[in-house]
Structure 1
Amino acid sequence: MEKTKVVIVGGTGYLGQHLLQAFAGNNGGDRYDVAFTHHSCPLPPLLLDAFPHFPSFPVDLKSGVGLHSISQNFGQPDVVVNCAALSVPRVCEQDPDSAMSINVPSSLVNWLSTFESNKTLLIHLSTDQVYEGVKCFYKEEDETVAVNVYGKSKVAAEVLIKEKCQNFAILRSSIIIGPQTLSPLPKNLPIQWMDSVLKKGDDVEFFHDEYRCPIYVNDLVSIVLNLIDRWVLSDDKQMRLVLNAGGPDRLSRVQMAEMVAEVRGHDPSSIKHVSASSVDRGVVSPADISMDITKLIQTLKISPTCFKDSVRLTLESLQ
């Protein structure tokens, strides 16, 4: 059986690294040829050592420089997973031009359009921030009215992909939680950060009126692998799918922190409730972008991990 060629765009990021780990295990080498792109140079040695069989390609998503090298040296991919993004809302607000040029994958879509047949599937990571945040449990068919530059760039990306790509799966991911990556990222990971501040016992403020559906990283990896397998096994090679990719629990930051305190035995009295409207974060943030994940569960026959178990699994990795 011919191996499936998979390219992970943004392989050095949080989800990208977890995907590479999944492909490296479970006899992935028997079924897949995997390559990944990166923007940061040079690559971290930890990453190079961990995945010696996965070719890496420096790519500038703004210009598309580097994409042609993948076609030449790796071949036309069967599946492209786009994890690359400027994903910090405040940074996007400060530099809207970069946010739009990186988050709207025009160069990537143009590259895919040069392939002879339309048999490449694009799995694109979008966000729950495409929703306005004025109600709970958004469904995929609800209108996307983003309130900040990050969300607007992701809405624009979805529009582009639907217009230009014949085959795609768009995953509207919520906050991704889980263990640290093989090559540690410089940014704070949500659960690990909550654990570290609550451990100190000092008062910490958390929002009580902003709601999300955090998803465990391994669930998101499973969703991507499930989609790839469906694509490989399908005869007609047709997929046009938008899925809410969140966990099963609608939670405020306060509730998330309380669960971390419960799992770790920290004193919950240091968790101070504040309104999101009382803090200027330099960016408008939607109040309630919790998502209905019925379509995800029914389409892929998976049930994402509950938040409490996700916290346990995440913090076990720190032992």
Structure 2
Amino acid sequence: MSVRSGYDHRMRTHCFRILILGASGFVGSALQAQLGARHEVVGASRSGRVRVDLGDGAAVRGLVRQRFDVVIHTAGVVDLAAAQRDPELAYAANVEPMAALLDAVEETGAKLVYLSTDNVFDGTREFYDETATRAPINVYGRTKAAAEDLVLARDRHLVVRLPLVYGRSPGSDKFLARFAAPEIEARTDIVCNPLYLPGLAVMLEQLFELSGVAHVGGAETLSRFELTTRVRDRLGAPAQIIPTDASTRVEDCPRPRRLVLRSVRHPLTGPDVDSALDDLTGVRQWTGR
């Protein structure tokens, strides 16, 4: 079932007060814009209009005490290579702030929705659902698994694992910016079910009532090279896509080869790539409903 056919009209009529942490980033800024059309949303980050350093426990408590129904955590070190180069920094950003944040959330009765990653898995299985055993092979995946443990040790909260996310973002257009380059290297041996960014907000609205772990992903399974080529072709960008794999480039980080997320907890999926690209290029609007 697609997000479009699975959308529950009742969620549209229930307005939540939502805090988004990491609202200046690629995912966070898109969620603020999309969820803000239907809910009361406050976006906070180190550099935004509402500023907060997650390492400052007192500041976090003061912000969360403004009474929110849901706190969506998108902040932290998300670059795999950067985390691999500096594990201490990655741990300090992705794990250390979690205990104080969880304490603050629970004091107010809010629910934490923690956005995690498919990199908590090793990439050796055909697909992974929520019952699969985690086995991260890089620093980023290990820090996200450690943060997940802290969230799951408390009741009521939700961990949402994401695959590669693509599309346009109002705060950090890093995915589309790469197509201005003359050449783009893209892996042929790394496969996932990428999620179109506007689909994430729609799915999160429907998952707010869950606790524990939920997986989300797109409708198609394809390599990074296939996705990059299809986006380039639809944009009409001049970039040449250079196919690479583990044998043709030096890896900056151990990367799982196959990370296909499935769910046993809900029937939702993001749009197929052609529908996403229709929306991205203005051919046809994808509403997610």
Bin of the TM-score, shorter chain as denominator length: 0.7 to 0.9
Specify whether residues 14 and 257 from structure 1 end up closer, same or farther in structure 2 by C-alpha distance, changes over 3 A only.
closer
**Which position in structure 2 is the counterpart of 1:157?**
147
Structure 2: how far apart are the matches of 1:10 and 1:250?
A: 28
Task: Output the amino acid matched with 1:24.
Answer: G
Give the deviation of 1:192 after TM superposition.
4.8
Task: Output the amino acid matched with 1:287.
Answer: R
275, 290, 311: which one pairs with 2:245? 275
- Judge conservation of contact 1:177–1:314 (CA < 8 Å) in 2: no
- Judge conservation of contact 1:6–1:77 (CA < 8 Å) in 2: yes
**Residues matched between the structures, number:** 269
- Judge conservation of contact 2:22–2:75 (CA < 8 Å) in 1: yes
Specify whether residues 69 and 267 from structure 1 end up closer, same or farther in structure 2 by C-alpha distance, changes over 3 A only.
closer
> Which is helix-richer, 1 or 2?
1
Q: Counterpart of 2:129 in 1: which secondary structure?
A: coil
**Which position in structure 2 is the counterpart of 1:140?**
130
Q: Counterpart of 1:278 in 2: which secondary structure?
A: coil
Give the deviation of 1:140 after TM superposition.
1.4
**Which position in structure 2 is the counterpart of 1:235?**
none
Structure 2: how far apart are the matches of 1:217 and 1:312?
A: 14
Q: Higher relative CO (CA 8 A, sep ≥ 6), structure 1 or 2?
A: 2
Specify whether residues 281 and 295 from structure 1 end up closer, same or farther in structure 2 by C-alpha distance, changes over 3 A only.
same
Specify whether residues 278 and 168 from structure 1 end up closer, same or farther in structure 2 by C-alpha distance, changes over 3 A only.
same
Question: Which structure has the greater CA radius of gyration?
Answer: 1
Task: Output the amino acid matched with 1:314.
Answer: L
Specify whether residues 314 and 2 from structure 1 end up closer, same or farther in structure 2 by C-alpha distance, changes over 3 A only.
closer
Is 1:210 matched with 2:208? no
Task: Output the amino acid matched with 1:188.
Answer: K
**Which position in structure 2 is the counterpart of 1:236?**
none
Task: Output the amino acid matched with 1:245.
Answer: V
Structure 2: how far apart are the matches of 1:82 and 1:219?
A: 17
Is 1:306 matched with 2:286? no
| Identity fraction in percent | 22
Structure 2: how far apart are the matches of 1:135 and 1:215?
A: 19
Specify whether residues 111 and 5 from structure 1 end up closer, same or farther in structure 2 by C-alpha distance, changes over 3 A only.
same
Task: Output the amino acid matched with 1:19.
Answer: L
**Which position in structure 1 is the counterpart of 2:207?**
227
Give the deviation of 1:208 after TM superposition.
1.0
Is 1:13 matched with 2:25? yes
Task: Output the amino acid matched with 1:196.
Answer: A
Structure 1: how far apart are the matches of 2:107 and 2:232?
A: 52
Specify whether residues 107 and 275 from structure 1 end up closer, same or farther in structure 2 by C-alpha distance, changes over 3 A only.
same
Structure 1 residue ranges without an equivalent (≥5): 49-55, 232-238
- Judge conservation of contact 1:208–1:276 (CA < 8 Å) in 2: no
Deviations 1:43-70 (A, max 9, x none): 3xxxx5xxxxxxx2x2222242411222
Deviations 1:144-181 (A, max 9, x none): 10011100001111111111x21112111111111131
Give the deviation of 1:296 after TM superposition.
3.5
Q: Counterpart of 2:219 in 1: which secondary structure?
A: coil
Structure 2: how far apart are the matches of 1:70 and 1:266?
A: 42
**Which position in structure 2 is the counterpart of 1:112?**
105
- Judge conservation of contact 1:171–1:244 (CA < 8 Å) in 2: yes
Aligned CA-pair RMSD: 2.6
Q: TM-score of the superposition, structure 1-length normalised?
A: 0.76
Give the deviation of 1:294 after TM superposition.
5.3
Q: Counterpart of 1:15 in 2: which secondary structure?
A: helix
